């Protein structure tokens, strides 16, 4: 009999039992279904943003300030000019604060602190900062800069709240990149007689630059979408304002205020503003990805 | 002749003048001061927050504030239990819904997916992190919540015998919708960390399982998942930290009702939402109570994130093999940091 067995019969001894095969199929199908479920909300959000947002877009949408008028439909409610400019101003100042400090701390961690107890403590506290909810940063800035100075809201106070939020992201991403700079490069420069600071400024930082730009752009993208820290630091206003010492509007706050409105036209403005904000953030992400692809480190 | 004396120890020739050393010193101490500044800032922050919260704690008592089930602004009663439970209920729902999906995505991307699809799939999931919180709120309240209200009511009617789920009237803003949207928001971070940890499973382990005749799924269950357990739990905890601190989307979706809802399809409140919603017009003890809510939130996220970091770092170091993988923990932290938050 065994002589009659074809190769297929002999192989059949190694075949899976139907139960195990079914289990495998079922598990793989479930994993695939889970992945599909994860992508559904993305598709829905993109679809609705485009459908509702593009409907709200018009040239005047970007060139007029919101009027504060929420009771009449149509164009009288105004656009989102002050919100776009406010977001750009606040985020630009936040980056100007967070990037030098963040990269400075990262350089210290990698070049000087290394694995000393003090450096470990700083790393721990930076991790703590990462986990702090953004609204708590808003409270902090409110306590120190609004209550503390007895004054009121201002654009630059919003920037400081966002800068606190960006700091841990900038520090951690810059540290990871700086660690990737080959030790041989530093040692060659030191062996040629370069002092430490020149090694840092002329060798380490330029090598790490593209990678650090990626981290910074991701931090900026994250900060640009934040609403909570701005609510009681920069507040909201209608007019375009180029003075960071005054009240300032921003896209997330504008959207938040418009969401709660009973007027359809105002809600539509929120969709248009949301699409604008998402496009700005995606552009930053895209640029970050392109730069990181061209970087030689990582 | 000078060169000949060098190895002997005439280092004076190589040393720089004190003036030339100045920039070096300045940079070193400047940067150290900057690092110390970060520490000082956090400590100062904590002290100031406690100071601002003190009047509320003095009025209600610390335990009375945290566990008092009465948030009544006009009567000046500030018990944060409805807010605390609102935060915990919505975050738990977010984990319950979000983590299985995120782990499935990670398993598919690392083990089952065709190699060509891996990168696009990763990018798509990470795109979810690029959507700002307020946009999730907008989408949730105008699209998701009205669309699902009928289904939720159907479920609530069918399960009317189950406490906390069935029997009640479904409102458009409610705990469940908030949890669902939070699940979508924490998906990218949980998925990214799970993927990162799964990619550290040694190929030997997987090949050994397959070589012994395991099916793909058996290989994943035997070799991959146990190896990654603490990493996945850590990722989930980081997601939990995000969900707890999430503010604007929750404020829009939870309904902002200052009492504990009877069931998951009822309106409620959360710690973060109460601050965003009431801070603008709060005065006196009310304002102090909101600072106290912020403090409770701060401590809660601190605990959750502390546990999470511990688990992720331990997982990235590898618990079973003991082999060190120095880049992983860095990359994991970077992922954790770069995914968008509240």
Put simply, the answer to whether A44 touches B139 (Cβ < 8 Å) is yes
Put simply, the answer to whether B31 touches A172 (Cβ < 8 Å) is no
Residue A261's pLDDT band (cuts 50, 70, 90): confident
Chain B residues in contact with A175 by the CB 8 A cut-off are 330
| pLDDT given for residue A220 in this prediction | 92
Nearest CA in chain A to B141: A259
Distance CA(B123)–CA(B276), nearest Å, equals 32
Exposed/middle/buried for residue B249 (C-beta within 10 Å: 0-12, 13-18, 19+): buried
Chain B residues in contact with A281 by the CB 8 A cut-off are 130-132
Q: What is the pLDDT of residues A167-200, one digit of tens each?
A: 999 999 999 999 999 999 999 999 998 888 999 9
**Alpha-carbon torsion A174, A175, A176, A180, what sign?**
positive
Over the Cα atoms of chain A, what is R_g? 27
Put simply, the answer to whether A101 touches B34 (Cβ < 8 Å) is yes
A152 falls within a domain: yes
A27 falls within a domain: no
Residue A78 DSSP one-character state: B
| CATH code: domain of residue A205 | 1.10.3720.10
Chain A residues in contact with B215 by the CB 8 A cut-off are 16, 20-21, 23-24
Distance CA(B145)–CA(B253), nearest Å, equals 8
Nearest CA in chain B to A147: B52
A140 touches chain B (CB under 8 A): yes
Q: Name the residue facing A125 among B38, B139, B248 (closest C-beta).
A: B38
Which residues in chain A (174-193) have CB-CB distances under 8 A to chain B? 175-176, 179, 193
Put simply, the answer to whether A139 touches B34 (Cβ < 8 Å) is no
Q: Which helix (H) or strand (E) covers residue A101, if one does?
A: helix A81-107
Contact A14, A243 (CB under 8 A): no
Distance CA(A140)–CA(A157), nearest Å, equals 11
A64 falls within a domain: no
Chain B residues in contact with A172 by the CB 8 A cut-off are 333-334, 337
Put simply, the answer to whether A173 touches B305 (Cβ < 8 Å) is no
Contact B184, A41 (CB under 8 A): yes
A218 touches chain B (CB under 8 A): yes
| pLDDT given for residue A8 in this prediction | 64
Q: How far is CA B161 from CA A74, A253, B89, B152, in A?
A: 49, 42, 20, 15
DSSP string over B212-263: TT--HHHHIIIIIHHHHHHHHHHHHHHHHHHHHH--HHHHHHS---SS--SS
Q: How close, in Å, is residue A2 to chain B by CA atoms?
A: 24
Q: Is the pLDDT of residue A140 over 80?
A: yes
Q: What is the pLDDT of residues B59-72, one digit of tens each?
A: 888 888 988 888 98
Chain A residues in contact with B20 by the CB 8 A cut-off are 195
Q: What is the pLDDT of residues A13-43, one digit of tens each?
A: 667 788 889 999 999 999 999 999 999 999 9
What is the pTM for the complete model shown?
0.87
Nearest to B315 by CA among B248, B252, B235, B260: B235
Mean pLDDT computed over B137-150: 92
| pLDDT given for residue B326 in this prediction | 38
- Structural domain boundaries enclosing A270: 77-294
CATH superfamily of B80-338: MetI-like (1.10.3720.10)
CA dihedral A29, A34, A38, A41 (to 10 degrees): 90
- Out of A257-271, B3-17, B110-124, B223-237, pick the least confident: B3-17
| Most confident by average pLDDT, A211-215, B158-162, B243-247 | B243-247
Q: How far is CA A187 from CA A226, A294, B7, B31, in A?
A: 42, 25, 20, 21
The residue written with tokens 């940063």 in the block is A137
Q: Is the pLDDT of residue B329 over 50?
A: no
Q: Is the pLDDT of residue B341 over 50?
A: no
Residue B82's pLDDT band (cuts 50, 70, 90): very high
Q: What is the pLDDT of residues B313-322, one digit of tens each?
A: 777 665 444 3
| pLDDT given for residue A64 in this prediction | 85
Half-sphere exposure of B297 (CA within 13 A, CB side): 34
Chain A residues in contact with B286 by the CB 8 A cut-off are none
Q: Mean pLDDT across chain A, nearest whole number?
A: 87
Distance CA(B336)–CA(B219), nearest Å, equals 28
Q: How close, in Å, is residue A283 to chain B by CA atoms?
A: 10
Distance CA(A197)–CA(A177), nearest Å, equals 18
A133 falls within a domain: yes
Q: Name the residue facing A259 among B32, B38, B252 (closest C-beta).
A: B252
Distance CA(B118)–CA(B336), nearest Å, equals 20
**Domains: count for chain A:** 1
Distance CA(A281)–CA(A35), nearest Å, equals 24
Q: How close, in Å, is residue A270 to chain B by CA atoms?
A: 8
Q: How close, in Å, is residue A246 to chain B by CA atoms?
A: 17
Mutate to test the interface with B, among A20, A259, A267 (most CBs of B within 10 A): A259
* ipTM of this complex: 0.87
Distance CA(A66)–CA(A68), nearest Å, equals 6
What are the φ and ψ backbone dihedral angles of B47, each rounded to 5 degrees? -65, -45
Contact B120, B328 (CB under 8 A): no
Put simply, the answer to whether B31 touches A169 (Cβ < 8 Å) is no
Mean pLDDT computed over B116-130: 90
The residue written with tokens 């105004």 in the block is A78
Q: How close, in Å, is residue A1 to chain B by CA atoms?
A: 27
Q: Is the pLDDT of residue B12 over 90?
A: no
A270 touches chain B (CB under 8 A): yes
| pLDDT given for residue B210 in this prediction | 92
Q: Name the residue facing A37 among B20, B27, B101 (closest C-beta).
A: B101
Q: Mean pLDDT across chain B, nearest whole number?
A: 84
| Cross-strand partners of A66 | A78
Nearest to B173 by CA among B240, B249, B72: B249
pLDDT top residue among B206 and A232: B206
CA B247 to chain centre: 12
Residue B73's pLDDT band (cuts 50, 70, 90): confident
């Amino acid at each position: 009999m065994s002589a009659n067995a074809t190769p297929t019969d002999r192989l059949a001894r190694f075949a899976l039992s139907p139960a195990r095969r079914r289990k495998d199929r079922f598990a793989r199908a479930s994993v695939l279904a889970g992945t599909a479920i994860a992508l559904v909300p993305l598709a829905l959000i993109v679809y609705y943003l485009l459908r509702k947002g593009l409907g709200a877009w018009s040239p005047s949408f970007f060139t007029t300030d919101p009027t504060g008028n929420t009771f009449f439909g149509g164009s009288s409610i105004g656009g989102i000019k002050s919100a776009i400019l406010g977001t750009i101003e606040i985020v630009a100042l936040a980056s100007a604060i967070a990037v030098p400090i963040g990269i400075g701390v990262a350089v210290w961690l990698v070049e000087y602190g290394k694995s000393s107890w003090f450096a470990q403590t700083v790393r721990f506290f930076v991790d703590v900062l990462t986990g702090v909810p953004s609204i708590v940063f808003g409270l902090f800035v409110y306590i120190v800069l609004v209550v503390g100075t007895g004054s009121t809201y201002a654009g630059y106070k919003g920037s400081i709240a966002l800068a606190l939020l960006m700091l841990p992201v900038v520090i951690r991403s810059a540290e990871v990149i700086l660690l990737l700079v080959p030790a041989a490069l530093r040692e060659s420069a030191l062996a040629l007689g370069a002092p430490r600071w020149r090694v840092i400024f002329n060798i380490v930082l330029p090598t790490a630059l593209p990678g650090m730009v990626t981290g910074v752009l991701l931090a900026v993208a994250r900060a640009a979408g934040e609403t909570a820290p701005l609510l009681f630091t920069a507040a909201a206003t209608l007019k375009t304002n180029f003075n960071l010492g005054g009240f300032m509007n921003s896209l997330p706050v504008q959207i938040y205020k418009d969401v709660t409105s009973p007027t359809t036209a105002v809600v539509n403005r929120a969709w248009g503003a949301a699409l604008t904000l998402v496009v700005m953030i995606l552009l930053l992400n895209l640029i970050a990805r392109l730069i990181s692809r061209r970087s030689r480190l990582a | 002749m000078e060169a000949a004396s060098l190895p002997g120890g005439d280092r004076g020739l190589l040393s720089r003048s004190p003036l030339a050393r100045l920039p070096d010193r300045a940079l070193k101490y400047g940067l150290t001061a900057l690092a110390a500044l970060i520490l000082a800032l956090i400590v100062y922050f904590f002290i100031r927050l406690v100071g601002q919260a003190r009047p509320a704690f003095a009025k209600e008592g610390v335990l009375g504030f945290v566990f008092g089930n009465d948030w009544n602004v006009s009567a000046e009663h500030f018990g944060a239990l409805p807010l605390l439970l609102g935060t915990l209920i919505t975050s738990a729902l977010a984990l319950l819904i979000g983590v299985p999906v995120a782990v499935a995505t990670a398993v598919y991307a690392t083990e089952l997916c065709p190699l060509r699809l891996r990168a696009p799939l990763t990018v798509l999931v990470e795109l979810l992190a690029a959507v700002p919180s307020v946009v999730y709120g907008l989408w949730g309240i105008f699209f998701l919540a009205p669309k699902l209200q009928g289904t939720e009511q159907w479920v609530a009617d069918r399960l009317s015998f189950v406490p906390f789920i069935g029997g009640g009237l479904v409102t458009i803003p409610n705990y469940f919708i908030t949890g669902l949207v939070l699940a979508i928001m924490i998906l990218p971070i949980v998925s990214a960390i799970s993927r990162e940890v799964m990619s550290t499973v040694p190929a030997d382990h997987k090949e050994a399982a397959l070589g012994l005749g395991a099916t793909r799924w058996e290989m994943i269950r035997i070799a991959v998942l146990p190896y990654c357990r603490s990493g996945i739990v850590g990722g989930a905890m980081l997601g939990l930290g995000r969900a707890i601190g999430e503010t604007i989307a929750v404020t829009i979706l939870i309904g902002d009702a200052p009492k504990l809802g009877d069931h998951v399809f009822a309106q409620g409140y959360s710690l973060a939402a109460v601050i965003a919603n009431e801070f603008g017009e709060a005065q006196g003890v009310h304002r102090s109570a909101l600072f106290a809510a912020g403090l409770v939130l701060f401590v809660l996220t601190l605990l959750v994130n502390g546990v999470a970091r511990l688990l992720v770092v331990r997982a990235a170091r590898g618990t079973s093999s003991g082999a060190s993988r120095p880049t992983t923990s860095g990359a994991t932290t970077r992922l954790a940091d770069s995914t968008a938050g509240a």
